[in-house]
Amino acid sequence: MPEFDTSHVKNIVLLGHAGCGKTTLAECMLYEAGIITRRGSIAERNTTGDYHELEQERGNSIFSKLMHTKWRGYKINIIDTPGYDDFVGEVISALRVADTGVMLLNSVMGVEVGTDIIWEYTEKFKTPMIFAVNKLDDDNADFDKTVREAKSHFGSKVVVVQYPLQTGAGFHEIIDVLRMTMYKFKDTGGKPEKLPIPDEEKAKAEELHKELVEAIASNDENLMEKYFDKGELSEDEMKAGLKKAMINHDLFPLFCLSAERNMGSGRLMGFIDNVCPSANEMPSQTTKAGDKLACEANGPACIFIYKTTSEPHVGELSYFKVYSGTVKSGMELENETTNVTEKLSQLFLVEGNKRTPISELVAGDIGATLKLKNTHTNNTLHARGKNYELHPIEFPSPNMTVAIEPTKKGEEEKLSQALHQLREEDPTLIVEVSPELKQTLIHCQGDMHLAVAKWKIEHSHKVEVKFVKPRIPYRETIRKMADASYRHKKQSGGAGQFGEVYMRIEPWYEGLADPKDLNVRGRDTYELDWGGKLVFYNCIVGGAIDTRFLPSILKGVMEKMHNGPLTGSYARDIRVCVYDGKMHPVDSNDISFKIAGLQAFRQAFQQADPQLMEPIYKVEVLCPDDLTGSVMGDLQSRRAIVEGIDSEGHFQKVIARVPLAEMDGYSSSLRSITQGRAKFKSGFLEYAPVPFEIQRKLIDEHAKQAKEEYA
């Protein structure tokens, strides 16, 4: 029998901006539950959560960590997450399987940008949320300001359950308006003394208690009637009402903490096991087929893989949540995505970097297993014949792209294997081998994300790499009509080569009328793989060129559009009309007309006012109000056009159109000018003309490079 049944398993995820104290709080919770006998610290690099060499080196969390405590008859699974937006994939995957989120707010900084971005995902998942104001022992702590910001940003659903008697070095007492009790801590923290609320605080505590009761009652008609009848709710009624409101995402209780001094974590854990929902109290999962999957231990086995890691000398470790049934070691389950039967040869409880073998896990619990053959993050495994497939985690699009190459020749294959493994572990990192740019590209969330990828490749896979600036996928087009002809003639003994082509090219756009001065015999439209179109007209009269040679002319045109005349970039949105030419009864063949078509197109292109187009990205930067000017100034130095500024809570969102060519290094630049207090996201918007001076420079550089390669 499992040690805990489904109703006694709670899954929480610790969330918040970098530096708010999540890992330290997790350490307190493990210590209070007796899982560890000594609290580690970030400074001493010995916390249970941040065990990875890279995290200890950098002093912050990079990967989500699964831990657990046993507290008053409950098992609390804790997932500690990183605070930097570069590692948002770790946060989203943890939110996917958690049943309650604990959002830590730094009482010195208030609601920070990282908090705001994470909140978007908690809203999407409708995760029940607790706020915990941390670092109240700091001399610059401002509890009231933090609460005001939380209410301003997240709404009146934020309700105060606790407030500090004082902040700063004198922070020792927390007044709890749910229990109407004051907790007094020793300097060393730990278990507090329970005392009556001081007389001078009673009025404030009673007012906050009333606000809490009214907020709870307003979300439940039965409780509202009881409140009207009695003018009060019992503690048990308040807890029941809070649980219901949290499940419905209607209330977010707020607590007080000093994780550094271990003050308040025990009460928070008590609230988690008393009030926060178990998995079987949350709405049932809906499969992709629309079926409801109840979280019951006696149901059919079904697990969801939310995270995959690779460990040296061990292999892949798959983290999963049991959404239905009871899974046991040795059990065989079917992968709905890959149709492979997987054997769960071993099951583990995980405590940071420690794994404890276990024989079974019940619905609602979280664990890990080793060496699944063909199962990846986002896959569903289920009992035979059930065909369950749970909705996958949707990861955000990348914000940054670099090209990567090994520093030593001949290690391309090793690098390819390393990148494949990285992609397996981190779905937010996308690897692309670009035939257009002739580079291997890494698309990621930012420079810190990139630094971690580089560290893994070099330390885990022993391949030294370097990042280089990715080439820009320019496009070439034309702005006016031009005619050109080309005769290809070659005689070298025996059969020769001959083909002559007369061609008109012009800019193409939707609704462009057929040429009136040409006799249109046929028209084909080609959707180009790289965007835009090529429209090819047959306007030959009198059999000047046999129709069997037209595909060869088209092939020549298409070849040059693959390698545009200006910079070798793809060409697009052009209409080509072949209207005359000559052929030889013996020497004309496909290769002759392909060459003639290519050269005629090249010459016409150069005469048709050619225009280089560059990719423009929409960039949205979220930053505090006092940094808006610096952010805008930096964007404008990158040829950006600022389209507007919107307010989001107490943050400003700067919206701009920025050429991709100017986005190199933007992630690190933004972090530098804002001290990490701003975040951004970007996405392709359109192609726009390159300014004349830059176009001339790019054409000259391409010509010089081509000359060097030819030499």
- In CATH terms, is domain 8-203+252-281 a member of 3.40.50.2300? no
- Report the pLDDT value the prediction gives residue 677, as an integer from 0 to 100: 82
Contacts of 174 (CB under 8 A, 6+ apart): 162, 163, 164, 165, 182, 183, 185, 192, 256, 263, 264, 267
Give the least confident one: 226-240, 470-484, 543-557.
Answer: 226-240
Distance CA(11)–CA(365), nearest Å, equals 8
What is the amino acid identity at position 588? Answer: S
**Which residue's structure tokens are 């000093």?**
258
Given a cut of 70, whether residue 510 has pLDDT beyond it is yes
* The pair of three-digit structure tokens given for residue 595, joined into one six-digit string: 């060459």
Tell me the pTM: 0.87
Per residue in 410-426, pLDDT (tens digit) is 999 999 999 999 999 99
Q: Where are the beta strands (DSSP E) in 325-365?
A: 326-328, 331-335, 341-344, 347-351, 354-358, 360-362
Whether the CB-CB separation of 79 and 14 falls below 8 Å is answered with yes
Q: What is the mean pLDDT of residues 232-244?
A: 90
Cβ neighbours of 464 (radius 10 Å) = 12
* The pair of three-digit structure tokens given for residue 310, joined into one six-digit string: 């690779």
Give the least confident one: 143-147, 376-380, 487-491, 688-692.
Answer: 487-491
What does CATH list as the number for 400-468? 3.30.70.870
- Report the pLDDT value the prediction gives residue 358, as an integer from 0 to 100: 94
Give the least confident one: 218-222, 354-358, 424-428, 468-472.
Answer: 218-222
* The pair of three-digit structure tokens given for residue 405, joined into one six-digit string: 């190459």
Nearest to 183 by CA among 205, 165, 206, 169: 165
Given a cut of 90, whether residue 311 has pLDDT beyond it is no
Q: What is the mean pLDDT of residues 333-345?
A: 93
- Report the pLDDT value the prediction gives residue 696, as an integer from 0 to 100: 95
Alpha helices by DSSP H, 638-691: 666-674
- Report the pLDDT value the prediction gives residue 650, as an integer from 0 to 100: 75
- Report the pLDDT value the prediction gives residue 366, as an integer from 0 to 100: 97
Shared fold status for 8-203+252-281 and 400-468: no
- Report the pLDDT value the prediction gives residue 710, as an integer from 0 to 100: 60
- Report the pLDDT value the prediction gives residue 298, as an integer from 0 to 100: 94
Average pLDDT, the chain: 93
- Position 709 confidence tier, pLDDT thresholds 50, 70, 90: low
Given a cut of 60, whether residue 711 has pLDDT beyond it is no
Rg (CA), the chain: 32
Distance CA(515)–CA(309), nearest Å, equals 61
End-to-end CA distance of the chain: 77
Given a cut of 90, whether residue 554 has pLDDT beyond it is yes
- Report the pLDDT value the prediction gives residue 155, as an integer from 0 to 100: 87
- Report the pLDDT value the prediction gives residue 223, as an integer from 0 to 100: 86
Given a cut of 60, whether residue 574 has pLDDT beyond it is yes
- In CATH terms, is domain 476-608 a member of 3.30.230.10? yes
Higher confidence at residue 131 or residue 40? 131
Contacts of 43 (CB under 8 A, 6+ apart): none
What does CATH list as the number for 285-382? 2.40.30.10
What does CATH list as the number for 612-693? 3.30.70.240
Per residue in 367-406, pLDDT (tens digit) is 999 988 899 999 999 999 898 999 999 999 898 999 999 9
Contacts of 63 (CB under 8 A, 6+ apart): 52, 55, 82, 87, 90, 309
**Which residue's structure tokens are 């995820």?**
13
Distance CA(684)–CA(540), nearest Å, equals 40
- Position 325 confidence tier, pLDDT thresholds 50, 70, 90: very high
Q: What share of the chain is helix, strand, coil (3-state, %, to 5)?
A: 30, 30, 35
Q: Strand, helix or coil at 204?
A: helix
- Report the pLDDT value the prediction gives residue 501, as an integer from 0 to 100: 97
Distance CA(68)–CA(351), nearest Å, equals 6
Tally the residues of the chain: 711
Q: What is the mean pLDDT of residues 296-324?
A: 91
Given a cut of 90, whether residue 453 has pLDDT beyond it is yes
Given a cut of 90, whether residue 525 has pLDDT beyond it is yes
Alpha helices by DSSP H, 356-494: 412-425, 447-460
Q: What is the mean pLDDT of residues 641-646?
A: 95
Given a cut of 80, whether residue 585 has pLDDT beyond it is yes
Whether the CB-CB separation of 22 and 105 falls below 8 Å is answered with no
**Which residue's structure tokens are 């239905």?**
324
**Domain coordinates in residue numbering, the chain:** 8-203+252-281, 285-382, 400-468, 476-608, 612-693
- Report the pLDDT value the prediction gives residue 1, as an integer from 0 to 100: 57
Given a cut of 90, whether residue 331 has pLDDT beyond it is yes
Cβ neighbours of 602 (radius 10 Å) = 17
Helix or strand holding residue 604 (H, E): helix 590-607
454 burial via Cβ count (<10 Å: 0-12, 13-18, 19+): middle
Per residue in 76-88, pLDDT (tens digit) is 999 999 998 899 9
pLDDT more than 70, % of the chain: 99
Alpha helices by DSSP H, 431-565: 447-460, 550-562
- Report the pLDDT value the prediction gives residue 649, as an integer from 0 to 100: 73
Distance CA(697)–CA(86), nearest Å, equals 34
Distance CA(222)–CA(229), nearest Å, equals 11
